[in-house]
Chain A
Amino acid sequence: MDSIILLSMDFSPIKPNFGLLLWTVIVFLIFWLIIGKLAFKPIIKALNDRANDIQDSLNAAKTAREEMKSLISENERISAEAREEKMRIIRDAKESANALIAEARDKAKEEAQRIVTNAKADIENAKKAALVDVKNQVGAMAIDIAETVIRQKLSADSEQQDYIKRLVEEIKVN
Chain B
Amino acid sequence: MRALQAIFFLLIVRPFLALVLGVNLRHAERLPQTGPAILAANHNSHLDTLLLMSLYPLAKLSHVRPVAAADYFLKNPFIAWFALNIMHILPLARRPKPGQPPLAHIEAALAAGDILILFPEGSRGEPEKRSALKSGIAHLMEAAPTVPVIPIYLRGLGKALPKGDWLPIPFFADGWVDEPLVWQGERAATMRALEARFAALESEGGALTWE
**Do these two chains really belong together in a complex?**
no
Which A residues contact B (CB, under 8 angstroms)? none
